[in-house]
Structure 1
Amino acid sequence: MNAGRLAINRLRERAPVDGATIDRFVARHGSPIVEGERATFLFRGEVDQAFVRHRVVGLPDPLEMTRFPESDLWTATTLLPEGSRVEYQIEVRRGEHHERFNDPLNPRLAHSPLGSSSVCAAVGYRVPDWVAHDPEARPGEIVEETMHSKALRRDQPVKVYLPARFNDRLRYPLLVVHDGDDYLGFAAMKTVLDNLIHRLDVEPLVVAFVAPEDRLKEYPDHAPHARFLARELVPLLTERLPLVDTPEARCLMGSSFGGVAALSSAVRYPGLFGSLLLQSASLVFTDIGFDHGGGPYFDPVVKFVNRYRSRPTRPVDRIYMTCGVYEPLITPNRSMVPVFRAAGMTVNYAEARDGHNWENWRDRLGPALSWIFPGPQKFVYE
């Protein structure tokens, strides 16, 4: 679309305009206004400055808004390629006071452990149809229990998903999920599993959702955490549940630091899992020196990834990797793909025009899980 015909430019051509005209414009269009590959963000208020705040690599942050002549309307227009999804907030300045909040003109929100953000969806983005509750899909069951972990020196809660029509006489593959409570709460993972299994896209499987106590300590190459998974959790679940007791029927997954935990645990216990699902894994490394710029929490991550890159191993047979092109981790994730392949693993790598957030990871679950655990019409475990 020609930028000169954007709605905000048509309004500008009519200036000066009164408050009632702006009221009608905002009521009609809301915010942001998505037209072709352009998005125009709006804010109304008597402030000294207004900005769009985001975490999109490649766009200025903050994205400064300009005041519409003789009004309280602030606007900013930026490029938004087809299929993009962006989370953002509005920041305003009144004198020396800064305030940041979700877009008052946009009802669409995304949620995370850190709070909520407004969502801007470009032309071509759609929430996958297997994300919403399907009344025809029989629901699986979440069983909550607590196990004592000698490795972690504490009681560890575990939530276990049992698929619909669970049958003790059958055998099921196993998926272990880092940040399990967040995947359930912010990525609708139970609903996703119910739908994918109902549609025969994914094999009926058992899923163990595990939540950390201190993820910044336990997830970056932490020996006690890996020992908990390998010597306590998997053996206990295999003893109590009818699981397929072979590596190819087991997958370990995680996002961000949870992706590091998945890879490092598999490296410490090679051959226990047949697959990894890594979503925006924080696989930060340095090619020279140790100045990575990520802060002290990334020190053990960089140490582990540097060591792995210097001596790559083959802890699993297959890896499914996803990452958003708008997040800083896109470069290290792209860089690790040839390293994994050179080590002899099959890698399925997918990118999305999205960022480091739970809805991005949610939207990638369908293709990832159907590749790792293909439906019964495609694959049968021996």
Structure 2
Amino acid sequence: MKNFLFLTLLILFTTSGFSQQALQGAGDIVSPEVHEDNSVSFRLHAPSAGEVKISGEWLPQENGNTIPVEMSKNEDNIWTYTTEPLPSNLYSYSFIVDGLRITDPNNVHQIRDVATVSNILMVGNGKADNYMVTNVPHGTVSRRWYKSPSNKDNPGRRITIYTPPGYEDSSENYPVLYLLHGMGGDEEAWMALGRTSQILDNLIAQGKAKPMIVVMPNGNYSQEAAPGESSKGFYKPNFQLPNTMEGSMESSFPDVINFIESNYRVKADKENRAIAGLSMGGFHSLHISRFYPNMFDYVGLFSPGINPFEKTNSPVYENIEETLKKQKENGIELYWIAIGKTDFLYKSVEDFRKTLDKIEMDYEYVETEGGHTWSNWRDYLVEFTPQLFQE
């Protein structure tokens, strides 16, 4: 009985303590808080800090780096900052406390971009509505391992696959989009940073895109899976891995297609295959589609890298103009290129377009504001996907 009374008093005291802490401003903090006018308030309880700043994707940049802004400290030792009304988008951010970068302890929603972990928030009433989970039928996302006979060092490789709503309950065969990540990314990138499943669910529900399977492989030939998901265990991700742009990924890509077409109900022909990628993935998409010029009817290059970063004698990069001509002769429904006006790859894309113009190859070109960002790449996926597999 005494133990019971002691435990009861302890719980009451602890609860009272937490309540007092909340009343004093250190407890139930809401951060971020999106207001009706699309402004956002951020809050951090840091009573001992001398200076707190916030760094976020909506802020101005200098030389590619975000310029942090100072937060204000109130009488409850809570540092606050409220933005102007923001355009609808998904934003990442972090705090800088006395020079140390930290995540927001009141926001459990985070993403990893290569080796950087940031908090995220979404401001709706616009294009970010495409990225949100809505009350529509949902597809299935699975992570699987497949055999890659072409890769002697990493024959077992991890892959992310989206199947559309209703796939499990039907006998229908589906077209396939192979969606490739950029340098430093992996098979998780398009799901976590690109919001692929949410975008596809919403577009399909709205009748804007055909139901399709989306395949997101790991484009790093020397990496069997995302950091923390492989036999190498937990390690710090690297931005530039070996054997990423020297031909191995492109020449081995039929291993991916063979796995998908052997294990999923797909329409296994050129007319029902698409390939697209961002940055390094755009580089891979360009070269896979011309090295195998009768494999894809749809090609999407999102802010593509054009020139390989590694010196190589791979046959993948030989006779580029001739193989592009062959790709053109075989017929292609859509060759789609998009890039931001301030992207550091803008000039190389401009030069590549001159090559396409020279051989009179039809393509669609989209130029947007902004640079080499996930904000652009999500938009490109939203615009590109509805153009696929239309009869």
TM-score calculated relative to the size of structure 1? 0.63
Q: CA deviation at 1:104?
A: 4.6
Query: What residue is the counterpart of 2:388 in the other structure?
Result: 372
**Distance change (3 Å), C-alpha of 1:159 and 1:99:** closer
Q: Secondary structure at the match of 1:273?
A: coil
**Distance change (3 Å), C-alpha of 1:274 and 1:123:** closer
What count of residue pairs does the alignment treat as equivalent? 329
Alpha-carbon distance in structure 2 between the residues aligned to 1:330 and 1:34: 36
Q: CA deviation at 1:299?
A: 3.0
Q: Secondary structure at the match of 2:53?
A: strand
Kindly provide the CA deviation profile for residues 280-318 of structure 1, in whole angstroms up to 9, marking residues without a partner as x.
Answer: 44x277xxxxxxxxxxxx8339999xx99x969465743
Alignment of structure 1 residues 1-382 onto 2, 5 Å: 31=32, 43=44, 45=46, 46-54=48-56, 58-60=60-62, 61-65=66-70, 72=77, 82-83=87-88, 85-93=90-98, 98-104=99-105, 107=107, 109-113=109-113, 114=115, 116-119=117-120, 124-129=125-130, 131-132=132-133, 134=135, 137=137, 139-140=139-140, 142=142, 144-151=144-151, 153-157=153-157, 158-163=159-164, 164-165=166-167, 171-178=173-180, 179-211=186-218, 212=220, 214=222, 216-217=240-241, 220-230=244-254, 232-235=255-258, 237-238=260-261, 243-281=266-304, 283=305, 299-300=309-310, 313=324, 315=327, 317=332, 318-321=334-337, 328-329=343-344, 331=346, 335=350, 338-339=353-354, 342=357, 344-349=361-366, 351=368, 356-357=373-374, 361-362=377-378, 364-374=380-390, 379=391
Alpha-carbon contact 1:319-1:346 (below 8 Å) kept: yes
**Distance change (3 Å), C-alpha of 1:219 and 1:205:** farther
TM-score calculated relative to the size of structure 2? 0.62
Alpha-carbon distance in structure 2 between the residues aligned to 1:38 and 1:338: 40
> What fraction of aligned residue pairs are identical, expressed as a percent?
14
Alpha-carbon contact 1:110-1:117 (below 8 Å) kept: yes
Alpha-carbon contact 1:36-1:123 (below 8 Å) kept: no
**Distance change (3 Å), C-alpha of 1:171 and 1:280:** same
Kindly provide the CA deviation profile for residues 35-86 of structure 1, in whole angstroms up to 9, marking residues without a partner as x.
Answer: 9797776555332333223466843534241656988565667777634543
Alpha-carbon contact 1:322-1:351 (below 8 Å) kept: yes
**Distance change (3 Å), C-alpha of 1:180 and 1:236:** same
Q: Secondary structure at the match of 1:208?
A: strand
Alpha-carbon contact 1:143-1:161 (below 8 Å) kept: no
Alpha-carbon contact 2:55-2:96 (below 8 Å) kept: yes
Alpha-carbon distance in structure 1 between the residues aligned to 2:167 and 2:124: 39
Alpha-carbon distance in structure 2 between the residues aligned to 1:301 and 1:371: 35
Q: Name which structure has the greater RCO, CA cutoff 8 Å, separation 6+.
A: 1
Q: CA deviation at 1:101?
A: 1.2
Q: CA deviation at 1:254?
A: 2.3
In structure 2, stretches of 5+ residues that fail to align are 1-21, 181-185, 224-239
**Distance change (3 Å), C-alpha of 1:372 and 1:31:** same
Alpha-carbon contact 1:152-1:228 (below 8 Å) kept: no
**Distance change (3 Å), C-alpha of 1:333 and 1:118:** farther
In structure 1, stretches of 5+ residues that fail to align are 1-19, 286-297
How well do the aligned residues superpose, as a CA RMSD in angstroms? 4.9
